[in-house]
Amino acid sequence: MLVRLVRYSVLMPHSNFPPRPAALARPSRVAAVLCLLLCLLMLTRPLHAANGERWAGQANTSFKHNMHIDVSSGVCLIQDRQGFLWIGTQAGLVRWDGNRHVKYVADAARDEALPDSYIMSLHIDPQGRLWIGMSSGGLARYDAARDSFVRYRAGADGLRDPRVSAIADDGQGGLWLATGRGLDHLGADGRFSRQRQEDLADLPEGGIDALLREADGTLWIGTRRGLFRLKPNQPAQQIALGGKTGLSITTLFQDSAGRLWIGTRTSGAFGIAAGADTRNAAAVHESGRQPTLPSERVSAIAEVAPGEIWLGTNGANGGIVALDVQAGATHRIRHRADAPDSLPDNDIMAMFRERSGIIFISYMAGISQHDPQPRAITTIRHAESGRGNILSVPSVLVAPDGQLWLSSTSGGIEIIDPYRGLTGRLTTASGLPPGRVLAMMPGPDGEVYIGTQHGLYRADADGRHLHRVAVPTRGDEEEVWALAQAGRTLWVGGLDGLWVLELPPAGTPRLLRHEDQQLGDSRVTALLPVGDEVWVGTRSGLARLGPDKVERIPTDLAAPDRLPPGYVSSLAMDRRGRLWMSNFGTGVVMLERTDADGRRRFRRLGMQQGLPDSGANKLLLDREGMLWASTDAGLARIDPEALTIRALGASDGVQVPTYWTNSGAITAEGELVFGGLSGVSVVRPQALSVSHYAPPVVVTRLLLNDKEIPAAAYNSGLGSKAPPVTVTTAARERGFSLEFAALDYATPERHRYAYQLKGFDPNWVETDASARRASYNNLPPGDYVLQLRGTNRHGDWSAPIEVPVHVLPAWHQQALARLAMGVAALLLGAGLLHARTAYLRRRQRELEGMVQTRTAELRVIQSQLETLAYGDPLTGLANRRLFNDELRHLVAQTERGGAAFTLLLIDLDRFKQINDTLGHDAGDALLVAAAERLRAAVRESDRVFRLGGDEFAVLLHQPLESGTPAAVCTRILANLAAPLGHREAVIEISASVGAALHRQGDSHEQLYKRADIALYHAKAAGRNTWRQADDET
């Protein structure tokens, strides 16, 4: 989560100037100008969230949490030459490939194991070797060829201290080592040496915690008593931090522009410009009125993008301080309990940017990651950045002044400026009625028309004045689901049809037309004016309203070129004048052509064509003519000419998984704004790009004859020249198993994999990320080449890597042995044939009797299995699986002329509170009692189901007692209202019920959704009541 950006000075270079005489103690204009110039020299180009970029102050920073890795208290991170991520923790060293992790811990009984599990530092040298510094185990080098460690101990000819907290190259094949007693050096020859004492005379006694070597050989040394710079052949110099010396240093980092960043234990962070020959570092100042960074511990520093630095802190506020170097602004990224994708912990231990650009963040309980590369989609999670509840936006409007009007499910409208953030809010206090705003539309004179659950309203452009608009002959409290405007004509759609109004410059609108039954379905959901016609989407189909007639478009689910029935959630027109619509259950539908006889021909695009979900909610056309669709599982871009679809997910920056029906708008800048259940997605289509990062494919595990062997040789780039995997005759099962992975950490679960054993497999064998294993047993002797490949995050296949395989022949696979065995087999076969025939005849008679017995037993077992599969073991009710089957069956039966039926969805009120307060046994008792009372409230012909948790469903067969479900719902509420005694407690029970009568043409999903909406209205009405789907009342 990002708090509002506030411009502020970041690097204060005043202390870089020499002292002045007392007479000149007051700052002069010349000094001020010099300060400003020096600041400018220290800055580079702006980062993406700099002040001046649209939506920067509202942008949400999303994190992916890797909870499946056995990592806690990660102290350091690094990536090796092959692409593996190594994580040093206080309890061992972890290697991770994005899917599987391997943990190395200390083992006193094995010399090739780590000597200490507390890892303090990691380093990859120019040869690609991994070095490990430990708290009390000294130094170790990972030997990949043997999957073991080489130890370097403390002692007379070794390290002066067993604590190695930092490692740096010396530029000559050796290493600088920060130890608990000073600076050590390990030469390229493997020998330890000491730096000349006169060069280190100014270094304080005690430990060193941070090292950083620049390209020119300058070594920066961070100690508990200050920062020092050691240039080649020169003595160490102490560097002041903000004019102070002796500050305790925690970390050192150099960014891509050559700037040096210093983190301290109690005094925040400091920076030194690239190439600056200075003995004083400038402080990083935090934006805001009450900055806490100057007194916080900065434990980690990373460069997210050029000019954007993250400071990981432990302190009063904690979290990450994101620094825009050029704009001179910072903002805090912190944990939010209501945002699952927020920073999980405010105490940052380590940060690292791996080679594809992903930022890894380590904290006490695990490791998370952030991908800063997707720039095409910005997520607005809160109306006021970092504050308030998460937005859920059923309707979006781009006002004439460029501000966003966002309706909220909790009621009201938030007005957000792309630069200034939240600028206004319309609530019931402003004149809005209670409930949701369902549609908004700008008027011809700059005003805004607002469709609500309680009528039509009009607001001034700034939202300060708002009043109800009376629609002649229409009830003031009728819901408004859709609005459209052209010139001075306003179309108003609701559950009572379509109303066409003429808008005078002042006064009451004049009714021009009202259509309801002529539309085929009077429940209007979407409107699109085109010339003198209006396309009208309804809850069951489509109609075209002409000047003097209404055309109903026939629906046919079975015919692929006809309009499918279903809820039309939005309408759009492409550049060729073709009508597109989003639909529940089908996806996206295009009106492809109209035949000479007037028959409309449609093209359907659904999940099979690449949509993320069949529930499409809103269509928008971008400036390039591409269609964009929001769905119940992300976004999609549709090429209307090629009819190809690109689904966008988390790796593309989509942080809102589910979107609202017909909630979206286009800004004057060409941005597409989609309203979702957990925020707003602002899409910049021109910025959408495809990552061309090609992750390396590596062997992660190799089992030969059931024994694991090191796999590093097959990741060295030798390919078919690597030593072959030799399968011998020693094992009972002669074979091998190999795991592999594409090292792309963005979305490893989306990768596809394939393997082929040349000489054995005729084709590539494809698999997904959950089965990245090639296994072969009992191969014929010979030489093979196993080829492995994987995809990147966008599905492009990598070039295959090769693993040579050599299978030795067993004794029985020799030519003479095969011939002898063949002759023996013929002789033996002839002798056994007669005995076998007699035996089979006898067995046939015995088996016929056994078959009859087993058949009866199987019938009993099958009946028992069906009971287990379709029953809820706690309540004895039928479960969700049987519910789904019976609901589909009843819908199909009704469509074939059978009797109508009613679906009830029942939720126990405040069940979680009872469960949390009185315990799970009380909750179970409550569920059992509720099941018994529900069975008692309905007829024997009706079915009661437990869907899971505290959710129940009832299928009521017609005829009902009063023609409506009122009596049944009332009886259910009354039965459940009786208190339940449990041990010494008395539990008060109540429930909310949503009812929906099946209508002709309804699918089972549509019926369920209508009942679920009715249930929502029951809960909104205060619980302990029931509501019927409003289209039936």
User: Looking at this protein, which amino acid is placed at residue 279?
Assistant: R
CB 546 within 8 A of CB 540: no
Cα separation, 237 vs 818, in Å, equals 81
Cα separation, 708 vs 702, in Å, equals 6
Task: Map 87-137 to HEC letters.
Answer: EEECCEEEEECCCCEEEECECCCCCCCECCCCEEEEEECCCCCEEEEECCC
CB 619 within 8 A of CB 570: yes
Q: Taking the C-alpha atoms of 811, 814, 818 and 821 in order, what is their torsion angle to the nearest 10 degrees?
A: -30
Closest listed residue to residue 953, CA positions, set 999, 894, 1008, 1004: 1008
Of all helices (H) and strands (E), which one includes residue 669? Answer: none
SS3 state at 35: helix
CB 938 within 8 A of CB 956: yes
Closest listed residue to residue 299, CA positions, set 414, 165, 458: 165
Closest listed residue to residue 590, CA positions, set 610, 614, 613, 573: 573
Cα separation, 119 vs 149, in Å, equals 14
Residue 684 backbone class (left: φ over 0; alpha: ψ -120 to 50; beta: rest): beta
Pairing of strands 801-807, 725-727: parallel
Cα separation, 709 vs 707, in Å, equals 6
State the burial class of residue 694 (Cβ atoms within 10 Å of its Cβ: 0-12, 13-18, 19+): middle
Active-site residue set: 950
Question: What does the radius of gyration of the chain's CA atoms come to, in whole angstroms?
Answer: 36
Pairing of strands 377-380, 634-639: unpaired
Q: Show the CA angle centred on residue 923, arms to residues 922 and 927, nearest 5°.
A: 115
Cα separation, 276 vs 206, in Å, equals 28
Closest listed residue to residue 702, CA positions, set 670, 737, 667, 666: 737
Place of tokens 């997520």: 379
Cα separation, 984 vs 838, in Å, equals 74
Cα separation, 318 vs 335, in Å, equals 9
- How many separate helices (H) and strands (E) can be counted in the chain? 7, 73
Query: Cis omega before residue 959 (within 30°)?
Result: yes
**What DSSP state is assigned to residue 447?**
-
Task: Map 374-397 to HEC letters.
Answer: CCCEEEECCCECCECCCCCCCCEE
- 129-163 b/e (C-beta count within 10 Å ≥ 16 → b): ebbbbbbbbbbbbbebeebbbebbebeeebbbbbb
Enumerate the β-bridge partners of residue 415.
405, 424
- 43-71 b/e (C-beta count within 10 Å ≥ 16 → b): bbebbebbbebbbbbbbbbbbbbbeebeb
Q: Which residues contact 921 (CB under 8 A, 6 or more apart)?
A: 982
CB 169 within 8 A of CB 216: no
- The DSSP string of 825-867 is HHHHHHHHHHHHHHHHHHHHHHHHHHHHHHHHHHHHHHHHHHH
